[in-house]
A and B are shown apart, each in its own frame.
Chain A
Amino acid sequence: MSMRTISSQLLAAAGGLALVTTTSAQAQDLAFVSCPIIKDTPSVPCWLAEYDGELYYMGVQSDVSAPFTPPWLGHKALVEGTPAADGERICGGIVLEPVKVSVMPEMSPECGTVLMAEPGYVLPFEPRRPPGPSTGQLAFTPPPPPPLPEPPFVARTFEVYFPFDGSVNFQTPRALQEVLRYAEAIGATRLEVAGYRGAVQLSDGEIIAEREGISDLRAREVARMFDGMIDSVEDIAVSSSDLAEPGDWGDRKVAITVYP
């Protein structure tokens, strides 16, 4: 399958938002659905997943600012990632970077593996956020906002991405900040909010599609978040497309076009 690769910073900004720009195809990406595994360490725990007889490392527990959002025991996870070319392992798993993890909505009580810390093993890096008190700042600092636009103002489209089968969540307000900033800066008069539904061809060939109606739900929920937010906006148009062609995480989105 093909997968867009974008910078970690952009991923960090996402639950996620990115301009429709830097994408490229990359081979050897993986997409699979399996039970997540949590493995303790003397510091923060690692999150792993097993696929086709191999263990993969997805990330460590951090805080809400982290680009990696850990999965949940009790649920399977859709893992979309790129194995490290050099075969680097952390916590025993081949590193997936970048990686997107979606918690599958249905409960899977069989997903409950907790691995104890291996004696003598320490993480090869200092976690940005320990399991206790922080150092007084978020683990990851978001990139600075781009300069405010200069006239003449133009219509601009922003995309907000979602986990598989997911809609507005704790990450969405952060993802909308740049949209709000731009809309206020240009005195936007109209917003178009378009919801989309994704599908993924897994590495074993199976195609899984998001639930029907998710595109409309996403569009309506995001449009509602803008309701009354920008004084100059007179109209918020909502549309959706429930077509779901096999693609990648970038298809699970809402596109917001801001008009001067």
Chain B
Amino acid sequence: MRLSSLILLAGCSTFLSAIAMQGLHAQQSGEPAHIDGQREQAAAVAADTQAVPNGGRAWWDPGEGKPLARMVEYDNDHGRLRLFNTSGEIETAGHPFFEPISSNGRACVSCHQPADGMSLSVRTIRERWEETGGTDPIFAAIDGSNCPNLPQGEEASHSLLLQRGLFRVFLPWPPKDPWGEGTIEPEFTLEVVRDPGGCNTSEEYGLASDNPMVSVYRRPRIVANLPYPTHRNFGIGPFIGKTGAPALRDPENGEPVNMNIMADARTPTLGTQAMDAAATHLQLLGGLSEEQRRQITAFEDQLFAAQVYDNEGGDLLLGEGGKAFGPENLAYGDIGVLGNNTTRWVFPVDESWAEPQPGLTDEQNAMRASIWRGQQIFHFRTFWISDSMHLNTVGLGNPVKRTCATCHGMHMTGLDAANGWMDIGTTNLPWAREVPLNPWTDEEELMPLFKITCRDDIPPHPFFGRVIYTQDPGRALISGKCNDVGTIVMQQFRALASRAPYFSNGSAANIRELIDFYDRRYNIQYSEQEKVDLENFLGTL
């Protein structure tokens, strides 16, 4: 191997289960080790073959069969999103991304809706609930309910999906060894402190079941602009840049990968992600064929999504210097490079773009000026970033005086250019959103809570010590590392306006709440005008 390539990166039906188990051994080449156990649990949950696919406003049904145009636009609260298929119109009839290829009625498109920026907004989820009486396949027992053993069709059983847009992700515990047979010995013990959905304490699906699984609840990530999170350019090498540990490798060619696809970085490529999703979300127990995988990844690799119109600012592509906007600029941008510098911005908007444009109203020009100011805040407004694992621990010091663009530095997307998981407090207490504990509220917290106790024979977590309370251990469920508890792979900033809520646990209901989280977490003390400008800017991406 050459050095140059090395340096960095519900009712359970026993009958159905018996049939499904026959497919369990059809493990595909290159399949990540954790999928086998997931498939076993997926087989144990009945797939509702009577689920009702029903056309909604902008809803794309599995098996709908109509072509996806080369360019298509959808309205949202901030303006208009455009999808751009660089390979031209997509024939969706017979396409495995769009067809319900398994028995539970879902397709990939079920949770990666074009109108929602190829993710799934909680608004759409609620609409589907109302329109189908809770029978849409997205509410499938396996992961569209808080736990498969709850009575299906009742709102309370799907509260995490209906209120936060969260699907259940079930992962083997202890973690499977991605490098060989068997399991990893975790650096910590994991206790269930709170389990509103009941899945972690379930005898059938939980940690003490015959197939021990941890259930966490996460948002579907955006399936567009994927050449960026899967790039193998700057910072990608055989070792994980933040820890020095070996990076995952592409099972097809052995090359180290970016590890920025999933919230916990568990799958190395779009192909292995498709295998994971097919086994769990689709309950496709026999797995995808090689041709299906090829078709899915080919589609995902050529699709770009971004806002092109702002309700108050008008056409974002109008005028010079707006290369941050629209999917075409993404499709033909520099992929996998840093943008946090004066030669290449993360989101390239020139000052000239914000100059008053002829043909626009004063209000529209004022909005463009605000969007410009938001971009400047993103790049230049410093604040103290502290106690964030895999950021303050990688040579910058704790605290570090930097800007949004320090972490969200990848050109055009705001992703981390290298392996991008870190703990900013979205899932770890005390920063994670929680229902206040006091004698005067009867609101009940939706999210599970785990107590993590790091072993005595390893160094304590730098910022929590040996005991951590978390709603989602994140990457640590895969690595078994104490220092990875609550670390989540950051997401791209594109199509934000079409896919609320935000963060992996859906804890920010809108862009303003997202900004407010950072303001609290890092004591930024944004002015109201700064918040408005940032919100306006983020809404245009």
Contact = CB atoms under 8 A, between A and B. Distances in A.
20 contacts: A44-B401, A66-B395, A105-B462, A107-B460, A131-B382, A132-B380, A132-B382, A133-B379, A133-B405, A134-B340, A134-B342, A135-B343, A136-B344, A168-B245, A169-B244, A170-B242, A172-B239, A221-B244, A225-B244, A229-B238
Interface in A219-260: 221, 224-225, 227-231
The 4 closest A-B CB pairs, nearest first, are: A70-B397, A72-B398, A136-B343, A173-B239
B437 interface: no
Contact of A47 (B239, B344, B397, B463): B397
A61 B341 contact: no
B387 A70 contact: no
A173 B236 CA distance: 12
Given A73-B386, A107-B460, A133-B340, A170 B3 contact: no
Contacts of A228: 1
Contact-residue bracket for chain A: 35 or more
A157 interface: no
Contacts of B460: 105-107
B459 interface: yes
A225 B239 contact: yes
Contacts of A165: 459
Q: What is the interface of chain B mostly: helix, strand, loop, or mixed?
A: loop
Contact-residue bracket for chain B: 35 or more
Interface in A54-101: 61, 63-64, 66, 69-75
Interface in B388-415: 392-403, 405
A168 B243 contact: yes
A128 interface: no
A213 B7 CA distance: 29
A99 to B, nearest CB: 14
A150 to B, nearest CB: 18
A15 to B, nearest CB: 9
Contacts of B298: none
B6 A45 contact: no
B8 interface: yes
A227 B245 CA distance: 12
Interface in B301-356: 340-345
Contacts of B462: 72, 74-75, 103, 105, 107
A177 interface: yes
A105 B459 contact: yes
Nearest to B465: A107
Contacts of B241: 170, 173
A180 interface: yes
B413 to A, nearest CB: 16
Nearest to A213: B457
Interface in B1-55: 1-3, 6-8
B423 to A, nearest CB: 14
Contact of B397 (A72, A133, A181, A230): A72
A38 interface: yes
B401 A45 contact: yes
Contacts of A181: 3
A171 B394 CA distance: 8
Given A69-B395, A70-B396, A133-B341, A170 B403 contact: no
Interface string A24-65: 000000000000001010001101000000000000010110
A188 B6 CA distance: 16
A192 interface: no
